[in-house]
Amino acid sequence: MKLGSFLFVLLFSVLIISQENDQPKEMLLRCDDIGMSHSVNMAAAKLIETNIPFSASVMFTCPWYQEAVDMLKNAHHVAVGIHLTLNAEWKNYRWGPVLGKEAVPSLVDENGFFFPSRSKLYENDPKVEEVAKELRAQIERALNSGLEITYLDYHMGTAVDKPEYRAIVEKLAEEYKLGISRYFEEVDSEMMYDDPIESKTDSLEKYLTHLKSDTLNLFVAHITVDNPEMQAMIDLNPFGPAEMSKHRQAELNGLLSPVFKEGIKKNNIKMLTYKDIVERVGLQNMKSPVDPHGYK
């Protein structure tokens, strides 16, 4: 190759790399379980105060959802979603369906509480029509709260764990003109949840440096304030991490840290919410993340 041609190729490559580096990397921060408890709401309030755009998935089945509603009414940089809920996983802190146990008996235990896991729910032979009724009731409660609701997602994945359940969620989203999380070709990150407590902020910093500019990056967080309320909660499932409240406090610490704020600037990251994505992509262009030729 002649020197002139080589220099041209080199200059062109440098220009392409420079353009890629200048292109913002897009990140969706979704915080789950808002409204689950006062401790979680306190953490959400701290994150709201940073003015960083994020999406808040609210559990409208839980007693503390009303406090979350009050917090979110004036948080215009936060998109609000419904964390569709068919499980209640904490010992000594249980919740049940919006409709009550008489209306959806196949979804609850003898005390009227949701089951702690998907497997326990399935052992009770849940009726599809009752799942549809309850999820609709949760959406109606959310819409009647006065909040602007943008999207749906799903606590512990249960509401989309079976093809017939996913079909219900998709039908309700279409009826109520709502987006569905992971239906906009988002790419999930590795969540901080299972990382050691002391290294979660480092994991977050590493994540920010590896975002791609041609992808809509989704980062799901579970935050709380580590206090006696959360310390008293024990997961009835064996797969939850020990010292849950400390894990969730560490996630909050990472999101409140200078590392996160500086990482957004240093890595040219544009923080988006599901409201931004719905407006840009359009509900009619949502795509199921499930293979249409075979349920996965």
Q: Which helix (H) or strand (E) holds 140?
A: helix 128-144
Q: What is the mean pLDDT of residues 274-296?
A: 85
Phi-psi region of 168 (alpha: psi -120 to 50; beta: other; left: phi over 0): alpha
Q: What angle do CA 79, 82, 85 make, to 5 degrees?
A: 155
DSSP per-residue string spanning 152-193: EEEGGGGGGSSHHHHHHHHHHHHHHT-EETT-S-EEEPPPST
How high is the mean pLDDT of the chain? 92
Q: Average pLDDT for residues 58-87, to the nearest whole number?
A: 98
Q: Quick one: pLDDT at residue 21?
A: 57
Pairing state between β 234-235 and 90-91: antiparallel
Neighbours of 296 (CB within 10 A): 6
Question: How much is the pLDDT for 10?
Answer: 45
Residue 15 confidence class, pLDDT cut points 50, 70, 90? very low
Q: What percent of the chain has pLDDT over 70?
A: 91
How large is the average pLDDT for residues 73-89?
A: 98
pLDDT for the residue numbered 220: 96
pLDDT: is 179 or 9 the higher one? 179
Query: pLDDT tens digits for 209-263?
Result: 999 899 999 999 999 999 999 999 999 998 878 899 999 999 999 999 999 999 9
Name the band, by pLDDT with cuts 50, 70 and 90, for residue 23.
Answer: confident
Judge whether 151 and 179 are in contact, CB under 8 Å: yes
Higher-scoring residue by pLDDT: 237, 18: 237
Residue with token string 């602007």: 148
Q: Which tokens hold the place of 199?
A: 């290294």
Task: Specify the 3-state DSSP secondary structure of 46.
Answer: helix
Question: What CATH number does domain 25-285 carry, 3.20.20.370, 3.30.420.130, 1.10.10.10, 3.40.50.720?
Answer: 3.20.20.370
For 19, counting Cβ atoms within 10 Å of its Cβ (0-12 exposed, 13-18 middle, 19+ buried), the class is exposed
What is the residue extent of each domain of the chain?
25-285
pLDDT at 14: 38
Distance (Å, whole) CA 215 – CA 228? 40
Cα 157 from chain centroid (whole Å): 11
Q: How far is C-alpha 247 from the chain's CA centre?
A: 17
Q: Indicate the helix (H) or strand (E) that contains 79.
A: strand 78-84
Helix (H, G, I), strand (E, B) or coil at 112: coil
Mean pLDDT, range 48-74, rounded to an integer = 98
DSSP-derived secondary structure letter, 269 = E
